Amino acid sequence: MNALERLRQCTTVVADTGDFNAMRTYAPRDATTNPSLILKAVQKPEYRSLVEETVAAHRGEPIDALCDRLLVRFGREILSIVPGRVSTEVDARLSFDTEGTIDKARALIALYEAAGVPRERVLVKIAATWEGIRAAERLENEDIRCNLTLLFSFPQAVACADAGVTLISPFVGRILDWYRKRDGVDFAPEEDPGVLSVRRIYGYFKRFGYQTEVMGASFRSTGQVLALAGCDLLTISPELLEQLRASEAPVERKLDPDRARAQAVERERFDEKQFRFAVNEDAMASEKLAEGIRLFVADVRRLEAIVTEAASG
């Protein structure tokens, strides 16, 4: 077996891309998207027709509504390939707006359901701000499953689990980027701050019996991926999936629920004041969360510009 096949024996493999043609090769169970990945996809000639068809079918609707329809169109195409779930992201401009996030999530689910896609196959991606976590808590009570993203710290993870969210996506690579820039060190996988962060979260969740799934995300190398073998899920770019498929490297399970449950770990809780203080105290988490929101907002605006151009053509 190649490394990708070995990894599948202990972890659910997810494709991290909006390019649904690229994911056919790797047979992932689920797929994740975000504004940056969808923007990258719609700029490819083979996907231009999706933009044009979506705009033509709903001409006259507001641009944000057309963008929602485009996101769902990509999600539907992905779900025709993967047997599991697709993650579709709420507009990052709503990251600090609980009610706005709830309304947008409901609207996305309504579009999927109108197209015959059951809500069980959709994860609504929401930034793991305090407001986003509160929105997800309420949405989960409506059977709208949530994937909390832009997650860089342990307090974010614990608050998500206590809110009963379906899944979290801790960002491995972006954590590494911050520490590599600060320290000028190229960390080995076993010392990688992003890897260690996910291991801590995974161990805590299993120790205290949380049902929230942990899906490592934002990988920079196959070494990071394999250092988290055994995690509930790992969402991996097509480039790294191809490297794993081409590799014969052995895969050792690094995360094990039974070992995690035997840990001596103290339980932690974060109310709003404690949450905000803890995230603020973590320079990496506060900086990368703010940066991530800004980057996603910028790509949402670029996507809107493409849809606006198509609508005026």
Average pLDDT over every residue of 186-215: 97
> What does the alpha-carbon distance between residue 275 and residue 255 come to, in Å, rounded to a whole number?
27
- Concerning whether 273 is annotated as a catalytic residue, the answer is no
Average pLDDT estimate for 126-151? 98
> 94-121 pLDDT, tens per residue?
999 999 999 999 999 999 999 999 999 9
CA–CA gap between residue 175 and residue 196 (Å, rounded): 10
Among 40, 44, 104, 125, the active-site one is 125
pTM assigned to the model? 0.96
Q: Strands (DSSP E) along the chain, which ranges? A: 12-16, 30-32, 86-89, 122-127, 146-151, 167-170, 213-216, 233-236
Quick one: 3-311 is in which CATH superfamily?
Aldolase class I (3.20.20.70)
Report the helix count and the strand count for the chain, using DSSP H and E.
15, 8
Q: How confident is the model at residue 75 (pLDDT cuts 50, 70, 90)?
A: very high
pLDDT of residue 101: 98
Domain ranges in the chain?
3-311
**Quick check: 313 pLDDT over 90?**
no
